[in-house]
Amino acid sequence: MAAITASSSHLFHPCISPSKPSSRTTIIAMATKRKVNKYDDSWKKQWYGAGIFFEGSEDVSFDVVKKLEKKKVLSGVEKAGLLSKAEQLGLTLSSIEELGLFSKAEELGLLSLLDRVAGSSPSALASVALPLLVAALAAIVIIPDDSPVLVATQVLIAAALAAGAAGLFLGSVVLGGLQESD
């Protein structure tokens, strides 16, 4: 038996050999939100449906402003000179005021949307980006190229969907960077 063990030890790779721990082995811990049992306040006894408790995930609070402050994003913008570059491109505070972008953002509820997105999972944002990209490709394939109007429609729809997908994907990367633990 000892001869079989000694002769078969060459079959194991040194990194996965049970008798010899490797110094190159790296354990990466990826934790998702924990599943917890929650109490359903609107539950009433019926002959169908789930019980008084249901499975959910723990609520994780995330404050974007504190995280941006901790990462010193505003001083990075200042040092990079992004504001002067935006001014050279014609985007100034007075032009934002003239366009009424802040009042439109309030009317459309974009600030509350931004708050909800900041508290969501980055993987959920990336998951929403994929169907938008598929829809952009489907618009190119499905809409015929028979006339210039259809081609323009095809381009506009595909560009809007692709821009939305790219924005969501980049937003998920940025949000993932902001939400990572220190």
Summarised one tens digit per residue, pLDDT across range 71-86 is: 787 788 888 888 888 8
Summarised one tens digit per residue, pLDDT across range 118-130 is: 777 788 888 889 9
Residue 3: band (very low, low, confident or very high) from pLDDT cuts 50, 70, 90: very low
First to last CA, the chain: 51
**Strand positions, DSSP E, the chain:** 35-39, 53-57
Residue 133 CA from chain centroid, whole number: 15
* Closest by CA position to 25, among listed 37, 33, 17: 17
Cα(63)–Cα(72) distance, rounded to whole angstroms? 14
Residue 123: partners with Cβ closer than 8 Å, 6 or more residues away? 172
What is the DSSP secondary-structure string of 19-40?
Answer: TS--SS--------PPEEEEE-
User: Regarding predicted confidence, which is higher, 158 or 63?
Assistant: 158
Summarised one tens digit per residue, pLDDT across range 87-132 is: 888 888 888 888 888 888 888 888 788 777 777 778 888 888 999 9
Cα(139)–Cα(151) distance, rounded to whole angstroms? 10
Model-level pTM? 0.53
Query: Cβ(57)–Cβ(34) under 8 Å?
Result: yes
Summarised one tens digit per residue, pLDDT across range 136-172 is: 999 999 999 899 999 999 999 999 999 999 999 998 8
